[in-house]
Structure formats: structure tokens, C-alpha cells
Structure 1
């Protein structure tokens, strides 16, 4: 087992190769790397040009885009990691891409990339990743497929994948619990907000009768009682004073 080509170096000793088909991004990355006082920066528009130059003079680190034509960054990684590319197969590769999806990151790291950065990358982030890379002591191993890879990377990615699945399952259960709780709270609120129907008067309900068998009259005013008594008196032929 052997360490990658940048392990143990100082930032000032780095010979960096940049593979980027965007001219503005080439200028940005070159300026950032030179601000770190690296020893050398070589910039290439295509994988083919970068591969030819790197075989002649292997760099210490390669920074490359993912989506390029006709040869992509992933294809470049696989070419570099083949055992027939020694000593280039030990050079660490950092992807700088605008499409940093989880499947892309998983694919890149499983294939032997050391890191994936998402555009736009800040100078401080790139500096931290390079400093981390210089101290990354994971050895490179030759797999049965004939490609070099980072020792233990497959197991590490499997563990992360299991954690993500467990987290996704926990989130799904939490979401279901929230839905059930919302449904229960809605049912409780509906039950409490339901107004009782008003009682209907019973036409056949018994009314309390007076001693003569009549229902007691409602309370009346003095004027109403006078008029009622006057009516009774007229019927009986009694003259009221």
C-alpha cells in the first residue's frame, strides 16, 4: 500500500493540474491556487491534453470538473486510477462541479476521488480541503478490478448509505406520526366545536294546571287585567264602577 502523491507535502510544494473547459473558471482557480503560494499551476481545457501532460510530468494533485466533453471528469478519474497509469494512479483528484448531487458524490468517491467541491467554491473552502488532503494518510490499494482506490472507502460509503437510509426511514415515520396527530387533533376539535341541536317544544307535554283544571295564565299588567275583567263583566251584565 502506498500513500497518495500529495501526502506530507507543504502547500508551497504542490504541483497542481486544473482541468476545466470554462475559461472564466480556469482564471478563478488559477488565481486562487497561486494565492496559496503553490509551486506550480497548469491549466487544461480538456481531459486529453491534461492526461498527456500529466503522464509526462505527474502532478501532486488534480482539480477537475465533472461534466466535460468529449471525455468527462469521471472517465478521467477511471483512466488515472488504472494500474497501468503508475505513478499517475496515486495522484489525488478533487472534483469541482456545479452538480454536487448525492449520487454524483457517491459515484465519485467510490471510484477513487478524494473530495468533491461544489461551485462556486470559495478560496477558504478550497484551502481547507487542500490542507486536509496533505494530511490524509489513507493509503491507495489495488483492487481486483485493476484500479487503485482509497483504502476503506467502500466500507465508509456503505456505512454512510445505511445512515442515510435509516435517517430517511426515521423522517418518513416522523411524517406519518405528524399526519396522524393532525388528524386526531382535527377530529377532537370538530367534536368540541359541534353545537348541540336546540330542544324542540313538546306540544303534548303536560302543563301544570291550577285547582280548577286550567293552565295558569301568564302574568299580565294591571291594564291588561282591567280590560279582561271588563270583558267578563259585560258578559255577565255587571256594571263596573
Structure 2
């Protein structure tokens, strides 16, 4: 097992490659990185150009966009991580994308990316991520597929997925409980109004209000509300 290429470096020792097909974004990232006083920044418009330069002279950090043509950032990651790309396969990759969905992040990290940042990225955020990166001591391991990956990443992502699933389940349960409570409260309010009207009508007629063992309007409305809620839950 071997550490990634940026492990233990200082900010001034970082040789960074930026792969970005947007000229304005290229300028922004170059400016931010140079403000950190890194050793060197090389910028490329496409994966093909970047890959050729990286093979000739490997950097120790790669920052890349996700959506590019004709070769995407994800394809770039897979190319870099193959064992035949050594020593480039040990270079950490940070994605900077405008499409930071949960599925994208999961896919990127499981394939060997070290982090995913969402555009627009602030200098402070990028600085903290680079500081975190040079201190990240997780080794790189060769999987049976022939690709290098971060040790323990699949276990960590599975645990995170379970936590998110549990959280989603708790939120669903809470939402159903709130819906049930609202329906019952509405039913109680309507039923009490009807009971009050019935009492007033009986009082106006001079008749004595006699409570029977049959369910009152309030009880009927509450039962109807509970039944409707249970029905909704089963349908969902």
C-alpha cells in the first residue's frame, strides 16, 4: 500500500494540474491556487491534453471538472486510476463541478476521487480541502479490477449510505405523523363545532340534552381521520 502523491507536502510544494473547459473558470482556479503560493499550476482545456502532459510529468494534485467533452472528468479519473498508469495512478483528484448531486458524489468517491467541491468554490474552501488532502493518510490500494482506490472507501460510503437511509426513513415517519395529527385536529375542530351546534339547538328547543352510548360526531370524525391516514400510509 502506498500514500497518494500529495501526502505530507507543504502548500508551497504542490504541483497542480487544472482540467477545465471554461476559460473564466480556468482563470479563477489558477488565480486562487497561485494565491496559495503553490509551486506550479498547469491548466488544460481537455482531458486528452491534460493526460498527455501528466504522463510526461506527473503532478501531485489534479483538479478537474466533471462534465467535459469528448472525454468526461469521470473517464479521466478511471484512466488515471488504472494500474498501468503508475505513478500517475497515485495522484489525488478533486472534482470541482456545478452538479454536486448525492449520486455524483457517491460515484466519484467510490471510483477513487479524494473530494468533490461544488461551484462556485471559494478560496477558503479550496484551501481547507488542500490542507486536508496533504494530511490524508489513507493509503492507495490495488483492487482486483486493476484500478487503484482509496483504502476503506467502500466501507465508509456504505456506512454513510445507511445513515442517510435511516435519516430519510425518520423524516418520512415524522411527515406521516404530522399529517395524521393535522387530520385529527381538523376532524376534532369540525366535530366540536357540530356538537356545539346540536347542544345549542337542543337548548333553544327547551329539550334536555341526553348523552347516548352511540359515538358522538367528534368521535366519528376522529375515527374517519385516523382511517384516512392509515389508508394514505398503506398507499404510499
The TM-score with structure 2 as length reference comes to 0.84
Question: Which residues of structure 2 form unaligned runs of 5+?
Answer: 207-236
Q: Deviations over 1:121-143 (max 9, x none)?
A: 00000000000000000000000
**Distance in 1, Cα, partners of 2:115 & 2:29:** 16
The yes-or-no answer on 1:198 pairing with 2:201 is yes
Tell me which residue corresponds to 1:54: 54
In structure 2, C-alpha distance between the alignment counterparts of 1:140 and 1:201, rounded to whole Å: 88
Hey, what's the Cα distance between the residues in 1 that align with 2:167 and 2:99? 23
In 1, Cα distance between the equivalents of 2:130 and 2:16? 11
The structure that has the greater radius of gyration is 1
- 1:163-182 residue pairs with structure 2 within 5 A? 163-182=163-182
Give the match's secondary structure for 2:18. Answer: strand
The 2-side partners of 1:102 and 1:114 are apart by 15
| Mean Cα deviation higher: 177-186 or 32-41 | 177-186
Match for residue 73 of structure 1? Answer: 73
Taking a change above 3 Å as real, the CA distance of residues 201 and 81 of structure 1, as seen in their structure-2 partners, is closer
Alpha-carbon RMSD across the aligned residues, in angstroms, is 1.1
- Partner in structure 2 of residue 221 of structure 1: none
1:28 aligns with 2:63: no
Cα-to-partner distance string for 1:6-65 (whole Å, 9 max, x where unaligned): 000000000000000000000000000000000000000000000000000000100000
Give 1:12's aligned residue: 12
Q: Note closer, same or farther for the CA distance 1:9–1:187 as it changes in structure 2 (3 Å cut).
A: same
Q: Distance in 1 between matches of 2:148 and 2:107?
A: 15
Distance in structure 2 (CA, Å) of the matches to 1:182 and 1:25: 49
Structure in which a larger fraction of residues adopt helix: 2
| 1:201 shift after superposition | 5.5
Calculate the TM-score normalised by the size of structure 1.
Answer: 0.82
Q: How does 1:96-107 map to 2 (within 5 A)?
A: 96-107=96-107
Q: C-alpha separation between the residues in 1 aligned to 2:89 and 2:60?
A: 11
Residue by residue over 1:215-241, the C-alpha shift from the partner in whole angstroms, topping out at 9 and shown as x without a partner, is xxxxxxxxxxxxxxxxxxxxxxxxxxx
Cα distance change of structure 1 residues 3 and 191 upon mapping to structure 2, 3 Å threshold: same
Structure 1 unmatched ranges of 5 or more: 203-241
* Residue number in structure 2 paired with 1:232: none
Alignment length (residue pairs): 202
Is it true that 1:85 corresponds to 2:85 in the alignment?
Answer: yes
